[in-house]
Amino acid sequence: MAEQIETVSGEPAWVGEHDQADHYLHLQDANIVGTRALLTCQDNLDDVIEAAAMACMHGSAGFGKSLAVNASLRALAPHNTVRVVFRSRPTTRDIRHALFHGLHLPGQPPGHPIEFDRLLKAALADRFRVLVCDEAQWMSRECFEYWRHLWDDPSTQIAVVFVGGGDCYRVLSREPMLASRIYLWQRFRKMEPEEILSVIPAFHPVWSEAPDQLISYADLHAGHGNFRNWARITNHVLQARRRGGADLDADLLKWIFSRLGGG
């Protein structure tokens, strides 16, 4: 579904693919908002693609890293992005296999690493691609080295984007061989209270008419400037409404905080 992305000023940032699966719990009717972080991410990735470089997008969980990278690349490189995500500590073998599938290579994955690398490099030399390695905090030094090895090869035409939590930054920045090759770093931070007041009403119709005071109250007690927290709160509001048309007020929010363990 092609959709406009809401910017906090109300101007559409770009027209791109908006995928409901971007949202935590597939939150119904949620918009992608052009937050400062997302707009910066789009500019940064534009430069990274132009330079065919390596980049690292890092910051704590829920700050909108994956969504910003995915939404940006749907607009910037819709036909040449390969995204791999690891949910636990991968090995270089896992990376080879993830790329084999991500690149839709035919046949069976080769059994021998040397043969495998030859195949992957040939595929990555074929045309330019952006490789996104999400949840990169799970990767060992050896795994980062593997990406570097692919990127360093003169035949491959790739940009590599690491997306991950704080550990990703620590591991990468500790390795001069790698860190010196990272062209650009973007740190995602929590949204400040004033940004929350412009972002949240554009995020979901539930909040579009809500008084600032109520939004600030929800942010202070449960949102904490973290987008995933806000998606969670919003889903609780929707469920409460489905159950009986509850008004969005401080009482409803207090009940939601109690469900979130937010006191």
Ligand X SMILES: Nc1ncnc2c1ncn2[C@@H]1O[C@H](COP(=O)(O)OP(=O)(O)O)[C@@H](O)[C@H]1O
Q: Which stretch binds Mg ion (CB under 5 A): 29-37, 60-68, 87-95, 176-184?
A: 60-68
Whole-angstrom distance, CA of residue 160 vs CA of residue 212:
40
CB of 5 to ligand X, least distance (A): 8
Is the Cβ of residue 35 or residue 66 nearer to Mg ion in the bound state?
A: 66
Is the Cβ of residue 19 or residue 117 nearer to ligand X in the bound state?
A: 19
CB of 248 to ligand X, least distance (A): 19
CB of 33 to Mg ion, least distance (A): 16
Question: Which one of Mg ion, ligand X, none is in contact with 18 (Cβ closer than 5 to 8 A by kind)?
Answer: none
Whole-angstrom distance, CA of residue 186 vs CA of residue 184:
7
Name the residue with the smallest CB distance to ligand X. 64
Q: Which of 113, 156, 158, 160 is nearest to 139 (CA)?
A: 160
Phi, psi torsion values for 66, nearest 5 degrees: -65, -45
The half-sphere exposure of 170 on its side-chain side, counting CA atoms within 13 A, is 7
User: What is the DSSP track for 219-245?
Assistant: IIIIITT-HHHHHHHHHHHHHHHHHH-
Instruction: Tokens 């270089």: give the residue.
Output: 92
Residues contributing to the site for ligand X (CB under 6 A): 22-24, 27, 30, 32-33, 35, 38, 61-68, 188, 203, 227-228, 231
Q: Which stretch binds Mg ion (CB under 5 A): 15-23, 61-69, 71-79, 142-150?
A: 61-69
Whole-angstrom distance, CA of residue 176 vs CA of residue 221:
41
Question: Which one of Mg ion, ligand X, none is in contact with 231 (Cβ closer than 5 to 8 A by kind)?
Answer: ligand X
Q: Which of 98, 106, 46, 99 is nearest to 76 (CA)?
A: 46
CB of 51 to Mg ion, least distance (A): 24
**Degrees (nearest 5) of the Cα angle 205, 210, 216?**
115
Is the Cβ of residue 18 or residue 241 nearer to Mg ion in the bound state?
A: 18
Question: Which one of Mg ion, ligand X, none is in contact with 98 (Cβ closer than 5 to 8 A by kind)?
Answer: none
State both tokens at 160: 């590599």
Is 72 a binding residue for Mg ion by CB under 5 A? The answer is no
Question: Which one of ligand X, Mg ion, none is in contact with 85 (Cβ closer than 5 to 8 A by kind)?
Answer: none
Question: Which one of Mg ion, ligand X, none is in contact with 62 (Cβ closer than 5 to 8 A by kind)?
Answer: ligand X
Question: Which one of Mg ion, ligand X, none is in contact with 63 (Cβ closer than 5 to 8 A by kind)?
Answer: ligand X
When binding is defined by CB under 5 A, the residue of 42, 66, 72, 198 that contacts Mg ion is 66
Q: Which of 125, 122, 124, 146 is nearest to 136 (CA)?
A: 146
Question: Which one of ligand X, Mg ion, none is in contact with 27 (Cβ closer than 5 to 8 A by kind)?
Answer: ligand X
Is the Cβ of residue 6 or residue 134 nearer to Mg ion in the bound state?
A: 134
State both tokens at 136: 């990169």
Indicate the residue type of 132.
Answer: V
Whole-angstrom distance, CA of residue 118 vs CA of residue 96:
11
Residues engaged in binding Mg ion (CB under 5 A): 66
